[in-house]
Structure 1
Amino acid sequence: MTRRIGCDHCPGSHSGARPCLASATAKARSWLLIEHPGPWPERIENLTGPAPIVDALHAALAAGVRPQLIRRPGRRRRTPPLHVYTGHSADDDAWLEGRELADPAELAGLDLAAVAAGRRPGFGDPVTDPVLLVCTHGRRNACCARTGAPLARHLASRFGASVWETTHVGGDRYAANLVCLPHALYYGDLGPDEATAAVEAYLKGQVAPLRLRGRAGRPEPVQAAEHFVREHSGIFEIGGVTVESVTGTSQYEAVVRARRNRYRVIFDSVAQADPCGSECRENLETYIVRDITLLNEAALV
């Protein structure tokens, strides 16, 4: 029997109920976060100043590093020092480095090629606490500011300096959106309770299944296969589930390890109705699981 598993109670800010599973941005594995109080243009590549930050944004994009502008919830600080973070969300070695800049021109010393390759550039100190990004990019989508700004303030009241407002993270239709770094866990359509639960789970080294969009830097079918096995097995440790293979184009077959067990997962991609109008430029695909089968070791030989 076909079952629809996942964020079926995750309606998104623009429409009625719609699944949000497997919707984390697939291209972001390396990160550059630069404190900038705003205003932010609709697209950060169109930022006009300060010049060293503009240069760093374009260099990051050219190197394959995901740049994000960040700022503290509430009051805007307009003078240095500015916080900068670099990071990589690899499966087995997710990391962050952080530094305060007295002058944005110091960004010229950042080795973005190393960041893109997953190597620690030594530009800042290791960061052991999570960095929590809430999208509040109103010029990109008004819902992000309307829902994201109060959520960022709420989380800052609970989790302090770990919380930042940020520019577009992808998936505006799921506002309010949260990204937990360094593992790049994406959550969508969050209220205060769901967001708090997601952060508390992350602090314990786990994912929270409710409102989970996926983990950035992985193809959407990989995110979907992991999602289905997590819900099937009840294993929510960040490193507890590993997708070993995915084949197919519109119907997929995946082999997924969850602790000592392996599963074969059959699932389909399906198109969703466009909630944003004909101009919506975002991926509107979602996934439906058809079958999950426990495999023994002999079956995989």
Structure 2
Amino acid sequence: MTTKRARGCDHPAGCHTGEVPTLASATTKARFWLLIEHAGPWASELADCELPEPVHALIRRAAGLGVRAQLVRRPLQRRATPTPLRLMVADTTAEVPWLAEGFFDDPSDLDLGSLVRGVVPESCILVKEPVFLVCTHARRNACCARIGLPIARVLGESQPGRVWETTHVGGDRYAANLVCLPHGLYYGSMSQAAAIAAANAYRHGEIVLDRFRGRAGIPEPSQAAEHFVRAHTGELSVGGVAVESTRSDGDVTEAIVRHGDVSFRVVVERAVFAPCGTACADAIATYRLAALEHIQCGTPVLT
């Protein structure tokens, strides 16, 4: 087995503090999720982790189907992985997002084909309560463990039985990262207080815009368009805003976003955030709002 040395805090000033813009940075490729309970240790890459071959086979099968696989463990769990193996699956962009879990002696019994068809696999049951993932993947990035571990512990006390440490979720510069399932809501640069606030809001069907990265499985320009409509309207319910269509031309995207009975035309542009005040090599890609107007009357709200 080969392992990679963990990266440290080599990101621009302001990362991990909330100063760096987090909007529209959720992973775009994770519509379907597979969570595998494993106490660790975790190597930098899943392929290098010391896992039973049937689990590695399951991870490879998931990758072939476009399912994002994560190893998870309870906060501070370092004992042997329980048996039978707990597996959880989620469809984050279904009309009604769902999460289900099951316990398997043989991981090959999990029907991932059903998952990608939007159907709860046999031997799994729907989970009614949300699940919160905190990235603590030290081998991937030291900051994820240094900042994430205390947050996972405190959040676990606030949301008993619903919190898991997890492997890399994307966006090391935004550590600590929090993912709320089944909707796949991403938060970054979290403090303990911010994580508790976000989890409490999600349990009530709402989003906290501060440090909200976006929703997994949705293109970044659409995440940005949703963010700006929420900021303008004050709409915080998880399903209260939806992108109906988009059209892109280079770095500019025009989106039609529905909010209740109102639709908005939103234009967003890719932009650069340079913490040093210049277009430095460590500049971070983000989005700026170019125009926002009610589509019914075409009257600009903000340009």
- Do they superpose with TM above 0.5? yes
| Aligned length, in residue pairs | 282
Distance in 1 between the 2:251 and 2:111 partners? 39
In structure 2, the residue corresponding to 1:160 is in which secondary structure? Answer: coil
Residues 97, 123 of structure 1: 8 Å contact kept: no
Cα distance in 2 between the residues matched to 1:77 and 1:141: 22
1 or 2, which has the higher helix percentage? 1
- Return the alpha-carbon distance in structure 2 between the equivalents of residues 227 and 289 of structure 1: 10
Partner of 2:270: 269
Distance 2:92 2:123 in 1: 17
- Deviation sequence 1:232-287 (CA, Å, 0-9, x none): 01111111101011112311211111111111112210134499x97x8xx94210
Partner residue of 2:23? 21
In the TM superposition, residue 49 of structure 1 has moved relative to its aligned partner by 1.9
Q: Hey, what does 1:34 align to over in structure 2? A: 36
Which 5+ residue runs of structure 2 have no aligned equivalent?
1-12
Secondary structure of 1:289's match? strand
Structure 1 CA distance, aligned partners of 2:170 and 2:128? 25
Distance 2:158 2:182 in 1: 19
Return the match for 2:72 from 64, 70, 73: 70
Q: Displacement of 1:91 after TM fit?
A: 4.4
Identity of aligned residues (%): 46
Distance in structure 1 (CA, Å) of the matches to 2:78 and 2:138: 16
1:73-92 paired onto structure 2 within 5 Å: 73-81=75-83, 82-92=85-95
Distance 1:225 1:298, change over 3 A: closer
Write the distance in 1 (CA, Å) between the matches of 2:28 and 2:123. Answer: 26
Deviation at 1:298, TM superposition (A): 9.0
Normalised to the residue count of structure 1, the TM-score between the two structures is 0.88
- Aligned partner of 1:98 among 91, 97, 101: 101
What residue is the counterpart of 1:255 in the other structure? 256
Please list every run of at least 4 consecutive aligned residues from structure 1 whose deviation after the TM superposition is greater than 4 angstroms: none
CA distance in structure 1 between the partners assigned to 2:75 and 2:86 by the alignment: 14
Residue 192 (structure 2) aligns with: 192
1:1-301 mapped onto 2 (5 Å cutoff):
11-13=14-16, 17-81=19-83, 82-101=85-104, 103=105, 106-248=106-248, 249-273=250-274, 284-296=284-296
How far the C-alpha of 1:179 sits from its partner, in A, is 0.2
Q: CA deviation at 1:114?
A: 1.8
SS of the residue corresponding to residue 58 of structure 2 reads helix
Contact 1:250–1:268, Cα closer than 8 Å, also in 2: yes
Secondary structure of 1:155's aligned partner: helix
More displaced, 241-250 or 222-231? Answer: 241-250
Whether contact under 8 Å (1:11, 1:174) holds in the other structure is: no
2 CA distance for matches of 1:259 and 1:16? 30
1:148-200 deviation line (CA, Å, top 9, x unaligned): 01100000011011000000000010000000000000000000111111011
Contact 2:130–2:180 (8 Å) recurs in 1 = yes
